[in-house]
Amino acid sequence: MTARCPSDLRLEGYLLDPERSELGEHVGGCVTCRVRLERMNAGGDDFRQYVFPATIDAVVAAAAPRPRPGWIAPFLPVAAACAAAMIFLLKPVPPEGILAARGEVLSLEVFTGSSEGARQLGNGELLPEGTPLRFRVKTTVPCRVRVVSADCEGRVVLLYPPPGEDSPIVSGTSVLPGEAKLGGDEGPERIFALCSREPLPVLALAAKLSDQATGDDDRVRRASRLSGLPEGTLQATLLVEHGEEKAGQGHPEK
Amino acid sequence: MDHRDAAVRLCRDYGPAVYRRCLRLLRNREAAQDATREVVMRLFRSLGREFS
């Protein structure tokens, strides 16, 4: 690869419209840029899962400005300028990730219980074997929810509802009843919440998970979005890592 | 398109890029989330007519 690697801003442009971007050839042959894009996509997932709902609420409500540390202020014009540049210079793309065609949103929160109460898990958090999990989903549109997981060994687990039961319709914020326990082998396991107008065919869903989100550790970690689902299906995901916490190893920052 | 739809569209299309930029500048997730919210709110006020 002889061409110089593009700036972050140009890569943002590529992410906004990969089909029309002139960087496609470079990115296709540049491992460094592909790694950069994966990191950027992970940041996008973080935004969709943790920032998007609150941001929408704040924007719509036009809430009074909240006090914030004074040291943030100098950076706001820079970020605003970058955002404005992207809006004026780049065309928007069809929604990706957890977003469906009309801007509907699904988010997934996973909690683990302890004697001190429930604690929300961060993405990529290390979990001891047999940790009981509970799920909370937030959706902007009524839909049928299912929570599944896939690991590097190719195991696909129907976490909610239990096998044989139909996906219930949820709307708004819903704590899903019951607990689930994930597999015990060391390595990553990816949890997906899926919400659709019609119940998703379980076997077809399991096949997609097996194809796209299993195989090896990196594949599980990278599979932040399932493709080929019925149109309008919302999805959200969280990665957990199985294993025993080593001394000095803390939980990831929320 | 009502206000909520417009906000969702703005946030959906450009929010991830703004958040990544804020995170890179601030190197703190909480601060980046605050800054992202602030930036999107300012953009929404400034560009509201474009998106409605």
How much is the pLDDT for A52? Answer: 84
Residues of A in contact with B35 (CB under 8 A): 68, 72, 75-76, 79
This prediction has a pTM of: 0.49
Helical residues (DSSP H) of chain A, grouped into ranges: 8-16, 24-29, 31-46, 52-61, 75-89, 202-213, 217-222
What would the pLDDT profile of A38-64 be if each residue is shown by its tens digit? Answer: 888 888 888 888 888 888 877 777 534
How much is the pLDDT for B12? Answer: 84
Burial A75-92 (b: 16+ CB within 10 A, else e): bbeebbebbbebbeebee
Of B16, B26, B34, the CB nearest to A47: B16
Residue ranges making up the domain that contains B14: 3-51
How much is the pLDDT for A105? Answer: 86
- Average pLDDT of chain A to the nearest whole number: 78
Say whether A59 and B44 touch across the interface (CB within 8 A): yes
Q: How far apart are CA A212 and CA A225, in angstroms?
A: 9
Domain range list for chain A: 8-89, 106-242
Q: How far apart are CA B31 and CA B40, in angstroms?
A: 14
Residue A82 binned pLDDT confidence (cut-offs 50, 70, 90): low
Q: How far apart are CA A176 and CA A35, in angstroms?
A: 35
* Per-run averaged pLDDT (10 residues), chain B, 52 residues: 74 86 84 85 67 45
Instruction: Please name which of A218, A145, A230 lies closest in space to residue A188, comparing C-alpha atoms.
Output: A218
Residues of A in contact with B40 (CB under 8 A): 55, 58-59, 83
Of A66-70, A82-86, A98-102, A197-201, the poorest mean pLDDT is in A98-102
Residue A245 binned pLDDT confidence (cut-offs 50, 70, 90): low
Say whether A72 and B18 touch across the interface (CB within 8 A): no
How much is the pLDDT for A3? Answer: 64
The answer on pLDDT for A244 being more than 80 is no
| A52 in reach of chain B (CB within 8 A) | yes
Instruction: Please name which of A150, A147, A129, A158 lies closest in space to residue A215, comparing C-alpha atoms.
Output: A150
Of A75, A87, A103, the CB nearest to B26: A75
How much is the pLDDT for B26? Answer: 84
User: What is the ipTM metric for this complex?
Assistant: 0.83
What would the pLDDT profile of A134-147 be if each residue is shown by its tens digit? Answer: 999 999 888 999 99
Å from B45 to nearest chain A CA? 9
Of A58, A79, A93, the CB nearest to B18: A79
What would the pLDDT profile of A144-163 be if each residue is shown by its tens digit? Answer: 999 998 887 777 888 899 87
Residues of B in contact with A74 (CB under 8 A): none
Alpha-carbon distances, residue A29 vs A2, A9, A11 (angstroms)? 10, 19, 14
Cβ atoms A47, B19 nearer than 8 A:
yes
Q: How far apart are CA A244 and CA A222, in angstroms?
A: 22
Topology classification of domain A106-242 = Immunoglobulin-like (2.60.40)
Mean per-residue pLDDT for A199-206? Answer: 82
Domains held by chain B: number: 1
Number of other residues whose CB lies within 10 A of the CB of residue A98: 25
